[in-house]
Amino acid sequence: MQTLGLAPWLVGLPLAGAAVLLLGGRRTDRWGHWLGVLASTAAFAVGLVLLADVLRLPADERVAVHSLGTWLEVGTLQVDAAFRVDPLSLTFVLLVTFVGTLIHLYSVAYMAHDVDRRRFFAYLNLFVAAMLLLVLADSYLLLFVGWEGVGVASFLLIGFWDHRRENAVAGKKAFVMNRVGDMGLIVAMMLMLWQVGSLSFGDVLGAAGGMSTGVATAIGLMLLLAACGKSAQFPLQAWLGDAMAGPTPVSALIHAATMVTAGVYLLVRSAPVLEAAPTAQLVVAVVGAVTLLFGAVVGCAKDDIKKALAASTMSQIGYMMLAAGLGPIGYAFAIFHLVTHGFFKAGLFLGAGSVMHAMDDSVDMRRFGGLGRALPVTAVTMGLGWLAILGVPPFSGYWSKDKIIEAAFVGEGWRPWVFGTVALVGAGITAFYMSRLFFMTFAGRRRWESEGEGARHPHEAPFLMRLPMIVLAVGSVALGGLLTLGGGFTTWLEPVVGHAEHHDPVLPVWLIITLTLVLVVLGAALAFRLYAVQQVPVEPPASNALVRAARRDLYQDPVNETLAMLPGQVATRTLVYADRTVVDSAFLRLASGVRRAGDGLRRSQNGYVRSYAATTLGGLLVVAAVVWALAY
Amino acid sequence: MIDFVAPTIDWAAVSPVLVVLAAGVLGVLLEALVPARARRSVQLVLTLGALAGALVAVALLWGRVQEAALSVVGGSYLLTPFGLGVQAVVVVCALLGVLVVADRPGGQDAFAPTAAAVPGSTYEEQARRAGLEQTEVYPLVLFATGGMMLFPATDDLVMLFIALEVLSLPLYVLCATARRRRLLSQEAAAKYFLLGSFASALLIFGVALLYGFAGSVRLGAIAEALAGQGASPLAGMDVLALAGVLLVVAGLLFKVGAAPFHAWTPDVYTGAPTPVTGFMAACTKAAAVGALVRFLFTLAEGMDAGTRHGVEVVLWTVALLTMVVGTVVGVVQTDIKRVLAYSSIAHAGFVLVALVGFSETGAAAVLFYLLAYGLATVGAFAVVTVVRERLTTPVPDAEHGAASAASDTLLGEATHLAQWAGVGRKAPWLTAAFALFLLSMAGIPLTAGFIAKFGAFSAAVDAGAWPLAVAGVVASAVAVFFYVRVIVLMVLTPPADELVPDGGAPDGGAPEAAGTDAGPDAGAAAHAVGGGAPTGTLTAAPAATRTVVTVVTTPGPAALVVALCAAGVLLLGLLPASVLDLAGQAAKFVP
Amino acid sequence: MTNPYVPVLVLMAVAAVLALGGVAASAVIGPKRYNRAKLEAYECGIQPTPQATGGGRLPVKYYLVAMTFIVFDIEVVFLYPWAVSFAWLAGFGLVAMLVFLALITVPFVYEWRRGGFDWV
């Protein structure tokens, strides 16, 4: 490949943009945002050049690695700063840079009145650079650098409006929960190091077949833990909803289109490891299925338009995880759905941003309604995204989601029935909550004041915001069909994920498609009846236990607190308590035994130093006892 | 009578230590002969020059040591590549540390005008008014540095003990010299001294046992005796040897600050003047870990499987315990210096993880870790020194007129976490650097800390100690919580510039602080804050409300240190190859 | 052959018995008449003077005396054996001792210049 040397520029350009904007300070305020757009566009152009080059090659020569030299050497381990350009990474590169550029454009207008717009663009560029590093890396270690990089960028962007306390808390929550996932990735790397002695994709994935099932399962599960953290999958999903506190373009780029799909990327990239570990693979599918339903149920109850979309993202990534857990038959569809989802979900988020822009940053859908007339462009673009996510043919979502549902029905025993049914039911619920969102916002009677105090004057967003929405809407309509033509996308990914044998689902394909469409129509119709025809109460009505649970994210926070934070806090308190009471008081009691002799001594000394000395001596004795017990 | 044969001494090999110690002696003379006005600048030039000279000497020796270890006076001083590597780390961190020591935010350095004065006495007040400065800190730092450089470069247990004392005694004194919170500082010094003596006693007792076992204090001879080759009358009494090893290791681990020998760390780090804390945290740890490596790696060669297993058990237990204590207790701290102290304890655990295999890879990882940790620590404490409280006292209009309605006094460091809220807005670059140090300590990629942790854990995995590595990963994940908490506080929380009634710390923190394990010195701290406030103007001021706000002082040498450390942390994170290469060279034939 | 460390063990036991026994015996059989003087420092009935402000500290002069003492004490400790074997150590010993004396003079000079000997 002649243009392979361009790969580092993909990371370098946005990184340089971020550096100039951050170091330039206020001097770059005037033109900084355009520099950001330029850096992202340039990266996209480089991606296109690489794509053109790759397309000219025959399928088996499309995987190339470009090394910049040794990055670090620890003992026998050597890690290169190497970039891997292959169909999978290129797909991501194009998705990230294209959607990224559009969102940069959108942000120029959306953040126009923010004094810190330049800083915002610096962070956006930083994010793009880190994300590209993540997908282009040729080793788990370098991937991890990008992995943490997107985490840091996400942390900075969620907390961008740092004067709001909830943002600060949300940013921290996202960061900390992500660290739980990162721990999985580090442990997985440790295991690879131990088993393979290398961290490059080529070595590890090549050796995956030869690993014992136990090791492969352990690595697979740890990778899954990492993916769960990054992709907001059950049980590490709690941060995504809170992350919506950040600016809307951030939600569109990071928490819908790109970063949250990194987990899916990781699993598809590590496919050989998962294949060597059927148990891990099954767990991946189960996690996907659970999250799919979890997100869908939560999505039905949210009145905050962004949180409803976040729940939907969670659920759609659940579909991708499910597909990734199905084995070779699902990898291509997981990535395919990831791409189409990137378009329509980003479009939906930008639409939501446009609605918020029109409604003075209100996000409560119960106070929307009848906005279709006031915001025609937004309504149409969001409508197209809505049809795409519903999976209505011939919109994008149909081509990708329907394939996943079909793939879920393939297999033997109980699995196809369970996974298939979940995917099918999920599609129905998706239709319900997305229609609910759409109708509550654009249809029905308006539930906002147009006069008097708290009056709203909805108006369409400026052109710079409308343009990306329109482009993404066009993508939501056509992308799925275009990529499916002649099996195009699956063939394109074959050099990476391998060729999938065709298997027949346990139900005939036509029946699956029909069932899906029937459920989708039912869901949409129900939503239409409830939220477009009937009057939507402005205050959320008291409802049954399930709805209340769903409103509270199915009690994820209390559960997390009980399971994760409580033991830590208890342990901490115990240690502190023990240090103060047990150690001290034990010593005091010892002293009271020889009080007569010790009284004068004790008064002349600082009791606490003594307790420290006691700790030291006691510790020494304990260590000695341990040695004695274990060594002899 | 046998003719006396004068030993030939390889002066070049001793030169790094010699330069530093000689400069220390010279410093004492300067203290006596140079007029007070010029003392500080002269001392500073001498100290920086000596440390730079030592660094040059280390660099010149590097190639020579690669060929063969240099033994002076029969091994009393033994310069191995590893020892030289540790010396390099110590000198670099000491250089940076001295710059922080030299910083004078608001025209006052961090040290008491006369440390010997009784806190709150009129004599102290007079000294303060006269603008006296305790420039003895510079020679003291030099002596401590000299001891630290000697610590990992000896083959002789008695010399090891002497080095320990040479590095410890100046530190005890330095701890007592804080300008503010005098009582807390003196209490810290007393604690450090008592517990340090206790640890020294353990160490020397261990040395005695080992001498009894092997009939020699040379590490090489003891290793031979352990292997059963020596002429020891007690060959075979491995329990005695193991007890000796255990005691010496305990003495060294005390200096490293590993649990259960860590109890002094939080109190001493909090009480000592912050520049000294930074110096102490980075350099002492490096030197003590170096000595530990030197001691254990040499003896491990001679140990049979059983004894070696015993030592490994010790390391495992201590490493686990240290990581748990450091991270778990660190989470509940409310004082920035205590947070950093517990972080330093946790880091001791991570370093020990790399040691368990007694392998070259492990030694290289240790060296890199020490450098990465040292840079981040010196930098972080340097940041702490410049985040200060300012006392704004309204002055009655009658005396000064309306124009000077308020007078500002710069107080001590704002160490309570609540006071760090919103610092990010006042000093974005400083905050960015501090965040970088914390992220490096947390082991986030692209910082030195990540490469260091990665090296340490993979060395453990190499040695088959993967459960320890996994525990390390978990501990570092938990530790992230308290680092991120500080960053969030600085960047995302609005500053709480509150009105405070007379003579107290900001209200928010006090009950919380009492709830943590600050217990023992809480009383002293309250006393120091309340009664020992150092300024005369304070008592003379009208009893009006005073605002205590967190201010970031103007840049001085400390700012330079912050910048240098940040650059180092980033460079080591991005392009670690050359330094890893050096660490690898230094780890060859470790003992 | 008995273990060569047995005598050491016996010695340690004797030391322990003596030390602990002494404390225990005085606690058990000693008369216990507490009064003000008994509770004061040194139990000698004389007020330690002068009492520093803030309480209980010894005057700084005390440390100066200690320091001076150490300077000369250490000097003598090394000088005496050196003098005894001066002939044997020859030139090397002389140079080494001169260096040592120079070093030991440094704290002396420091103390002198800092007014440690201004005995007022």
pLDDT at A336 over 60: yes
d(CA B175, CA B273): 6
What residues of chain B, 428 to 467, have a C-beta less than 8 Å from chain A? 439, 444-446, 451, 454-455, 457-459, 461-462, 466
Going from N- to C-terminal start, the domains of chain B cover 11-386+421-495+553-587, 388-414+498-521+531-552
Minimal CA separation from C38 to chain B, in Å: 27
Task: Say which of C88, C91, C109 has its CB closest to residue B29.
Answer: C109
pLDDT the model gives residue C65:
81
Question: Given an 8 Å threshold on Cβ–Cβ distance, is C54 in contact with B121?
Answer: yes
Q: How far is C27 from chain B (nearest CA, A)?
A: 27
Q: List helix spans (H) across A31-116.
A: 32-56, 87-110
> CA separation (Å) from B570 to B235, B433, B448, B449?
51, 10, 6, 9
- Among the residue ranges A190-194, A499-503, B144-148, B346-350, the one predicted with the least confidence is A499-503
- Tell me the CA distances in angstroms from A159 to A167, A242, A364, B430, B466, one per residue in order: 5, 11, 21, 19, 36
Q: In this predicted structure, what is the pLDDT of residue B160?
A: 94
Report the Cα–Cα distance between both ends of chain B, in Å, rounded: 36
Give ∠ CA A612-A616-A618 in degrees, rounded to 5. Answer: 110
The answer to whether B28 contacts chain C (CB < 8 Å) is yes
Which residue type sits at B171? Answer: L
- pLDDT at A52 > cutoff 90: no
Of B167-176, B244-253, B525-534, the least confident: B525-534
Average pLDDT over residues A296-303: 82
Question: Which residues of chain A does B325 touch, with a Cβ-Cβ cutoff of 8 Å?
Answer: 575
Chain B nearest-CA residue for A167 = B492
Give the gap in angstroms from C-alpha A255 to the nearest C-alpha of chain B: 20
- How far apart, in whole angstroms, are the C-alpha atoms of residue B142 and residue B97? 11
pLDDT of residue A577: 59
Q: What type of residue is A61?
A: E
Rounded-to-integer distance, Cα B363 and Cα B564, Å: 26
Average pLDDT (B374-379) is 95
pLDDT for position B275: 93
**Which pLDDT score, from 0 to 100, does residue A572 have?**
56
pLDDT for residue C98: 92
CA atoms of B140 and B115, how far apart (whole Å): 13
Least confident interval from A204-208, A604-608, B408-412, C101-105:
A604-608
Percent of chain A whose predicted confidence (pLDDT) is above 90: 4
Average of pLDDT values for A109-134? Answer: 86
pLDDT for the residue B540: 40
Distance of alpha carbon C54 from the chain centroid: 26
pLDDT at B60 over 80: yes
- Residue of chain A whose Cα is closest to the Cα of C20: A597
| CA neighbor of A353 nearest in space, from A463, A461, A475, A472 | A461
- Rounded Cα–Cα distance for residues A609 and A589 (Å): 16
Burial zone of A614 (CB within 10 Å; 0-12 exposed, 13-18 middle, 19+ buried): middle
Answer yes or no: is pLDDT of B256 > 90: yes
Mean pLDDT of B469-492: 81
Name the packing angle between helices B466-492 and B305-330 (round to 10°): 20
- Report pLDDT for A153: 84
Q: What percent of chain B has pLDDT over 70?
A: 85
Task: Report the sign of the C-alpha dihedral through residues B201, B280, A610, B262, in that order.
Answer: negative
Name A82's bridge partners. A67
Write out residues 26-85 of A within 8 Å (CB-CB) of B.
Answer: 70-77
- Closest to A520 (Cα-Cα) out of A589, A433, A462, A578: A433
Look at A190 and B457 and tell me if their CB atoms are within 8 Å.
Answer: yes
> Which residues from B are below 8 Å from C90, CB to CB?
4, 6
Q: What is the pLDDT of residue A598?
A: 34
Mean pLDDT of chain A: 80
The full set of domain ranges for chain C reads 1-32, 58-113
For the cut 60, the answer to whether the pLDDT of residue B397 exceeds it is: no
Where residue A432 falls among pLDDT bands split at 50, 70, 90?
confident
Q: What is the pTM of this model?
A: 0.75
* Residue with more model confidence, A449 or A296: A296
Q: Tokens standing for B117?
A: 């004065």
Could you tell me how many residues make up chain A? 632
Q: What was the pLDDT predicted at B512?
A: 34
**From CA B553, how far away is CA B383, in angstroms rounded?**
10
Of A354-358, A474-478, B54-58, C86-90, where does the model show the most confidence? B54-58
| ipTM (interface pTM) | 0.76
Written as one letter, the residue type at C52 is: A
Residues in chain B closer than 8 A to A162 (CB atoms)? 491-492
A35 pLDDT above the threshold of 60: yes
Alpha carbons within 13 angstroms on the beta-carbon side of residue A188 total 33
Residues facing residue A79 across a β-bridge: A72
Residues belonging to chain B: 591
Q: What is the mean pLDDT of residues A358-383?
A: 81
According to the model, what pLDDT value does residue A558 have?
A: 62
What is the CB-side half-sphere exposure of residue A351 using CA atoms within 13 A? 31
For residue C49, the model assigns a pLDDT of: 57
In chain B, which residue's Cα lies nearest the Cα of C87? B4
Whether the CB of C27 is below 8 Å from some CB of chain A: the reply is: yes
Cα distances (Å, whole numbers) of residue B314 to A567, B262, B322, B463: 27, 15, 12, 16
| Chains touching B, CB cut-off 8 Å, 3+ pairs | A, C
Q: Which of B559, B544, B458 is nearest to B500 (CA)?
A: B544
pLDDT digits (tens, 9 = 90+) for A480-528: 888 877 667 777 887 877 777 777 778 888 888 888 888 888 888 888 8
Contacts of A192 (CB under 8 A, 6+ apart): A140, A198, A199, A204, A219
Closest CA of chain A from B198, distance in Å: 7
Query: Which range among A377-381, B309-313, B350-354, C36-40 shows the weakest confidence by mean pLDDT?
Result: C36-40
The CB density around residue B250, as the number of other CB atoms within 10 Å, is 25
Which of A409-423, A596-610, B401-415 has the largest mean confidence? A409-423
Is pLDDT at B429 greater than 70 in this prediction? Answer: yes
Q: Where are the alpha helices (DSSP H) in A137-256?
A: 140-158, 165-195, 201-207, 213-230, 238-243, 248-252
Give backbone dihedrals phi and psi of A535, rounded to 5 degrees, phi first.
-80, 135
- Collect all residues of chain B within an 8 Å Cβ-Cβ radius of residue A608: 191, 520-521
pLDDT, tens digit (0-9, with 9 covering 90-100), for B542-573: 444 555 666 776 678 888 999 999 999 999 98
Residues sharing a CB contact under 8 Å with residue A611, sequence separation 6 or more, in sequence order: A583, A584, A587, B263, B520
Q: How far apart are CA B44 and CA B139, in angstroms?
A: 10
Distance CA B497, CA B549 (A): 5
DSSP bridge partners of B388: B413, B551
Q: What is the pLDDT of residue A550?
A: 65
Burial of A557 (0-12, 13-18, 19+ CB in 10 A): middle
How high is the pLDDT of residue C12? 87
